[in-house]
C-alpha cells in the first residue's frame, strides 16, 4: 500500500509556496546555526553598545559556559553588567577572571572599591598580591628557564667529572641546593586558591561538621582563602582563623595558571 503523502495532495500553487518557504528558511537559518564565536561576540558587543545589557549578557555567558572562550573586554563588560544588577558575587568573579590573565593594579583597586562599598571582606589591595599574580603569570617561562639552567649545571659537572677535574665541595653543595629549589618550585610552590561565597546566610563552622560550633553566618560576596578540603567541606581562612564552609556555598576563583582560549 502506498504511504499517504499530504504534500502531494496540496494544490499546485500551495506546493510552490511551501517549497519557496522551506528553501528560503533553510538558507536563512544555516548562517545563524553556524554562527562562529567571533560573530556571536560581535553581536553581543553591538547589543552592549545599544545599552541592551541583559541581552548582551546572555550571549556573553553562553560563550563562556559552552565554548569556554572569551575576550578580555568581554569579561570587564560582564563584570560591569552584573555590578549594575547589584549581583556583586558574579561581578567580582569576572573581574577576578580578567585579573588572572591580565594582572593590573587598577582591577585590584576596583575590586577593593566595590568590596568596601558593599562591606565585603577579602578584597583588600596589597602590592604583595599584585606581585604574586604577576609572578604566576610567568610561572611556566620561569620554570623552563630554571630547568635549562639545571641541565646546564649537571652537564658541566659531568664533563668535569669525565675529565677527572676536581670539583669543590662548595660547587657540589650549590648545585644540590639549586636542584632542590627547582624541585620545590615545580612541585610545591602554588598561588593560594580563593573562592567567593555564593549564597546568603552561609554558616561558617569551626569543624567540618554541621554539628560543630558556629564561627559566623555570612552573606554572599565575601572572598576567602582556601587552605584545603575534606569531603563536602572546604577549609578556609576566616578572620585570621581556620574554619570550614560547605563546598556548594563557594564559587572557586580562577588562578593565573591554566590558560583559556582567547579571541
Q: Report the CATH number at residue 114.
A: 1.25.40
Asked whether residue 30 is assigned to any structural domain, the reply reads no
Q: Residue 85: which of 68, 61, 65, 108 has the closest Cα?
A: 61
Least confident of 61-75, 85-99, 141-155, 215-229: 61-75
Whether 92 and 142 map to the same domain: the answer is no
Last residue of a domain, one of 138, 162, 188: 188
**Number of helices followed by number of strands (H, E) in the chain:** 9, 9
Whether 94 and 81 map to the same domain: the answer is yes
pLDDT given for residue 255 in this prediction: 64
**Cα atoms in the Cβ-side hemisphere of radius 13 Å centred on 248:** 1
Whether 109 and 47 map to the same domain: the answer is yes
Asked whether residue 155 is assigned to any structural domain, the reply reads yes
Q: How confident is the model at residue 142 (pLDDT cuts 50, 70, 90)?
A: confident
Asked whether residue 200 is assigned to any structural domain, the reply reads yes
Least confident of 93-97, 214-218, 235-239: 93-97
Q: How confident is the model at residue 131 (pLDDT cuts 50, 70, 90)?
A: confident
Whether 176 and 212 map to the same domain: the answer is no
Asked whether residue 19 is assigned to any structural domain, the reply reads no
Whether 214 and 199 map to the same domain: the answer is yes
pLDDT given for residue 12 in this prediction: 53
C-alpha cell at 102: 591580565
Whether 113 and 139 map to the same domain: the answer is no
Distance of alpha carbon 84 from alpha carbon 94, whole angstroms: 14
pLDDT given for residue 69 in this prediction: 65
Asked whether residue 202 is assigned to any structural domain, the reply reads yes
Q: Which helix (H) or strand (E) holds 262?
A: strand 261-262
Cα 10 to chain centroid distance, Å, stands at 56
pLDDT (average), residues 74-80:
93
Q: DSSP code of 209?
A: S
Whether 115 and 63 map to the same domain: the answer is yes
Whether 183 and 202 map to the same domain: the answer is no
The terminus-to-terminus CA distance of the chain in angstroms comes to 57
Q: How confident is the model at residue 256 (pLDDT cuts 50, 70, 90)?
A: low
Whether 108 and 133 map to the same domain: the answer is no
DSSP letter for each residue of 47-62: HHHTT-HHHHHHHHHH
Last residue of a domain, one of 188, 210, 239: 188
Share of the chain above pLDDT 90, in %: 33
pLDDT (average), residues 116-144:
80
CA dist list (Å): 116 to 8, 82, 104, 109, 156: 71, 17, 19, 10, 55
Q: Which residues contact residue 139 at a Cβ distance below 8 angstroms, ignoring those fewer than 6 apart?
A: 256, 257
Last residue of a domain, one of 99, 120, 141: 120
Q: Is the pLDDT of residue 25 over 70?
A: no
Higher pLDDT, 228 or 1: 228
pLDDT given for residue 82 in this prediction: 93
**Cα atoms in the Cβ-side hemisphere of radius 13 Å centred on 205:** 16
pLDDT digits (tens, 9 = 90+) for 26-41: 444 444 445 678 888 8
Whether 230 and 184 map to the same domain: the answer is no
Tell me how many domains the chain contains: 3
For position 243, which CATH number holds? 2.30.30.40
C-alpha Rg value of the chain to the nearest Å: 28
Range of the domain at 169: 128-188
Whether 235 and 218 map to the same domain: the answer is yes
Distance of alpha carbon 239 from alpha carbon 75, whole angstroms: 30
Q: Which helix (H) or strand (E) holds 175?
A: helix 169-187
Asked whether residue 133 is assigned to any structural domain, the reply reads yes
Amino acid at each position: 500500500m502506498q504511504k499517504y503523502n499530504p504534500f502531494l495532495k496540496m494544490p499546485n500553487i500551495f506546493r510552490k509556496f511551501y517549497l519557496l518557504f522551506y528553501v528560503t528558511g533553510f538558507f536563512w537559518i544555516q548562517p545563524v546555526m553556524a554562527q562562529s564565536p567571533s560573530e556571536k561576540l560581535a553581536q553581543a558587543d553591538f547589543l552592549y553598545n545599544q545599552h541592551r545589557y541583559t541581552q548582551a549578557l546572555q550571549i556573553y555567558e553562553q560563550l563562556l559556559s559552552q565554548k569556554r572562550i572569551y575576550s578580555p573586554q568581554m569579561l570587564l563588560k560582564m563584570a560591569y553588567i552584573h555590578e549594575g544588577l547589584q549581583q556583586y558575587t558574579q561581578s567580582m568573579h569576572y573581574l577576578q577572571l580578567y585579573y588572572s590573565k591580565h594582572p593590573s593594579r587598577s582591577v585590584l583597586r576596583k575590586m577593593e572599591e566595590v568590596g568596601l562599598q558593599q562591606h565585603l571582606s577579602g578584597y583588600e589591595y596589597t602590592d604583595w598580591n599584585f606581585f604574586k599574580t604577576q609572578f604566576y603569570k610567568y610561572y611556566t617561562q620561569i620554570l623552563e628557564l630554571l630547568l635549562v639552567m639545571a641541565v646546564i649545571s649537571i652537564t658541566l659537572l659531568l664533563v668535569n667529572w669525565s675529565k677527572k677535574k676536581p670539583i669543590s665541595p662548595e660547587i657540589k653543595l650549590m648545585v644540590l641546593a639549586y636542584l632542590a629549589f627547582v624541585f620545590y618550585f615545580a612541585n610545591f610552590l602554588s598561588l593560594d586558591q580563593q573562592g567567593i561565597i555564593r549564597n546568603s546566610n552561609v554558616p561558617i563552622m569551626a569543624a567540618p561538621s554541621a554539628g560543630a560550633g558556629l564561627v559566623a553566618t555570612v552573606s554572599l560576596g565575601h572572598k576567602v582563602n582556601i587552605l584545603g578540603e575534606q569531603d563536602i567541606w572546604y577549609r578556609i581562612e576566616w578572620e585570621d582563623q581556620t574554619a570550614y564552609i560547605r563546598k556548594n556555598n563557594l564559587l572557586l576563583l580562577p588562578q593565573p595558571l591554566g590558560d583559556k582560549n582567547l579571541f
